[in-house]
Amino acid sequence: MWNVLLSFSGLVALIQLLFLPFFPESPPYLLLQKGDKAGCLKAMKQLWGEGNYHTEFDDMLKEKAVTKGTKIMNVLEVLKEPSVYPQLSTMLLLLLSLQLCGLSATANLQESIIPYVALGVAISELISIIFCSSIIDRFGRRILLWGGYLLMALILVLLETSLLLSDQFLWMRYCSVVLIFLFIIAYGIGP
C-alpha cells in the first residue's frame, strides 16, 4: 500500500492547486512587489476580516521605503552573489548533516517495522517544526542552536550506547528508534 501512501501527497498538492486561484495574494507581496495599495487593503480584509489595518499597512509602507533601492534577486542571482556564500554553505551543511547521517539505517530493525519508523520520522519532523516555531521568539536562534547541538551530541552518545547493547538486549533496538526520533526533534528545534 506504499503507492497509495505516496500518492496521498500528490492528491494534497492537486487540491492545493485547484483552490489556489480562490485565495488572495499576500498583502506584503501586493504592496511591496506590485505597488498595489488598494489590492493590499482588499487582501487584508479578505484574509483577516473587517477591521482597521492601518498600522500594519503603515509598517509595510515603511518597509517599502527602506527597501526602495534594493534589487530583488531570483535564486540564480542569489547563488552567484559572493556575499551570501557563508550563509549558503552553513545552510547546506546543516541540511546535509541530517540527510547524510544515516540514522535510520543504524537502528538494525526488522523489515516489518521500517514503515512505522518512517512514519515516526515524519511525525518527529512535524513536532519539531511546531515546537520550534512556538519557542524561537522567546529564546532566540542562538540559544536554540546551542541547545540543539548539545542535545544532538548527547542523543548520539546514547544512540551509540544503545546500538552497542542491541545485540545483548533486543529491546535496545526500540530505544535506538526513540533516540533517532529525539535526534530529529533536537535537530529541528536547533539547527
Nearest to residue 177, comparing CAs of 127, 125, 106?
Answer: 106
Query: Contact 163/183 with Cβ under 8 angstroms?
Result: no
- 60 phi/psi in degrees, rounded to 5: -70, -35
Q: In the numeric block, which cell numbers belong to residue 74?
A: 531570483
Task: Find out whether 182 and 125 touch, Cβ atoms under 8 Å.
Answer: no
Query: 40-55, pLDDT tens digit by residue?
Result: 888 888 888 887 778 8
Distant-in-sequence, close-in-space partners of 166: CB < 8 Å, separation ≥ 6: 108, 172, 173, 176
Q: Name the nearest CA neighbour of 63 among 38, 27, 95, 96.
A: 27
Cα angle 126, 99, 110 (rounded to 5 degrees) comes to 80
List per-residue pLDDT tens for the chain, 191 residues long.
666 766 776 777 788 888 888 888 888 888 887 888 888 888 888 888 887 778 888 888 888 887 777 776 777 887 888 888 888 887 777 666 656 655 555 555 667 777 777 778 778 878 887 777 777 777 777 787 788 888 888 888 898 888 888 888 888 878 888 888 888 888 888 77
Whole-number Å distance between alpha carbons of 82 and 88: 10
Residue 182's alpha-carbon distances to 122, 151, 153, 167, in angstroms, are 12, 9, 11, 22
Residue 109 DSSP SS3: coil
The reported pTM is: 0.48
